Amino acid sequence: MKLSFPSCCFYILIIFPLIRPLKFIDANGVKYEECKRTIECGNISLGYPFYDDQYRPAYCGHPGFKVSCSDENNMPEISLKTSSPEKYYLLHVSLDSHTISVAREDYWDGVCPPNLSDTSLNYSLFSYTTANENVTLFYECSNEYPASRNQFSCTNTNNGMGYFMTEVLESYLGHIPPGLCRSNVSVPVYRSVAANITDMSSLHAALQSGFELEWIANDDLCDDCRGSSGECGYNTNLSRFTCYCADDVHNFRCDGYPFYDDDTRPDYCGYPGYKLNCSNEYGEISVTQSSEKYLLLRMDPSSHTIDVAPKDFWNTPCPDNLFNTTLNYSLYKYTDEVANFTFYYDCPTSIPVIPSLGSASPFTCPNINDNHPGVYFKIGDDYISQIPCQSKIIAPLFNQSVDILRDKDSVKRAFEKGFNLEWIADNDNCDECREKRGGECGYDFSQRNFTCYPNDSMNPFLFIWLY
């Protein structure tokens, strides 16, 4: 078994007499192999974040993504909300875009399910994409509405008359008058298919084509893990993402240099100054000369870059502690994707029009200053003396944030996307170590310099001898 890090750069042989050798495989290696397996159901193959507790254990998936294989239709079934009895057929999966196509099981064979309920999601796990449009089905209607091709009947309701409506149909048939029907249900379908719904046959085809959802399951972390030849999973004991590697279990990646955490990666597997705290969903790291912590969102060893976001600004643009980012330039440098933005806090809620502020709308942070809760922001770090505010900070963000900064919510999203840094940790030597020598990068504390652990020293043969 190949080890990525020199935690066992030696050979161990445990010998008991009169026995034959058996190669030892640890539990973490078993998990790595198990999580490489996919669920095969019909013509669908499912890996992370999906699991079924049979071919793929729960630690190979993410909570909320359990599937089962339907015996009747030979298709994967999934619930999109744990509190709802609704089941959905999983029709298609795209790992690149983290999207799935699903169709409601209760509308698969017709439009008269035993129970009427709107489509509901667990929004912490799924979100609708822009590819969808709702079809509205009206039930128990009076016959006052003109009969047409959008009419249907159900024998399992008190009044079996019903109608279906799409945006296109409503444009020339008109809307269903309020009070005409006792109940209605909204079912998403693909927008491209909805435009062609004209009768029951095309409605049935649209419902079976399903609709598109994007899943939310530590997707960036999983992309990083897979990019390092790992398998994505979930640590059920710590309730956070984990990366299963051929050698061991790691928090994020199988090739984590220059980072270390003194737990799954000892300090000699990293480089001084790059220690991670991995107690939360995202690793915490210090990238500045001060004490503020940043969340590690993404890592790319090929470009020696990371995406980080200030922890104090996570989920809020109104932190209790206002600070400038004072980068530690001995360890990091900004990439060309980053620009400075200035945020003015402790401001009156109304100030004179200042053209250099642009068209962005100010917002309020009463937790910072009740009397002056206003916050204004601008691109760049040049000072505007006309702004009567008591505090200001300069924050690095991605250049693209220029296009989205409009209000409080967009500022929150921009801070959560963070910014990009290139690390400085003998990068060229590490690239040569990996690419030309097939080794692993680390640090020799006795010599106080970078070191390359040769590949041969990372293949421990651990044998257990049994009677």
Residue 71 located in a structural domain = no
313 lies in the same domain as 416: yes
Tens of pLDDT, residues 264-293: 788 998 999 999 887 777 788 999 988 899
Note the pLDDT of residue 206.
96
Residue 131 located in a structural domain = yes
91 close to 103: Cβ distance less than 8 angstroms: yes
Residue 245, SS3 per DSSP:
coil
**Closest-CA residue to 253 (of 5, 30, 1):** 5
Residue 350 CB neighbours (<10 A): 7
Tens of pLDDT, residues 141-197: 887 777 678 899 998 877 788 999 999 998 888 888 888 899 999 999 999 999 999
208 lies in the same domain as 307: no
Tens of pLDDT, residues 439-452: 889 999 999 999 99
19 pLDDT tier (thresholds 50, 70, 90): very low
205 lies in the same domain as 307: no
Residue 147 located in a structural domain = yes
What is the number of domains present in the chain?
2
308 lies in the same domain as 419: yes
Residue 90 located in a structural domain = no
- Number of Cα atoms under 13 Å in the Cβ half of residue 419: 28
Note the pLDDT of residue 11.
31
Tens of pLDDT, residues 95-117: 889 999 999 999 999 999 988 98
Residue 356, SS3 per DSSP:
helix
210 lies in the same domain as 113: yes
Residue 12 located in a structural domain = no
Residue 46 located in a structural domain = no
Residue 351 located in a structural domain = yes
Last residue of a domain, one of 188, 214, 240: 214
Top mean pLDDT of 100-109, 217-226, 248-257, 392-401 is at 100-109
**In whole angstroms, what is the distance from residue 362 CA to residue 64 CA?**
38
Tell me the Cα Rg of the chain: 28
Q: What domain range is 162 assigned to?
A: 107-214
Last residue of a domain, one of 178, 198, 214: 214
Last residue of a domain, one of 214, 239, 266: 214
Phi, psi of 147 (to 5 degrees): -70, 140
Residue 222 located in a structural domain = no
Look up residue 208 and give its DSSP letter.
H
- The percent of the chain in helix, strand and coil, each rounded to the nearest 5, is 20, 35, 50
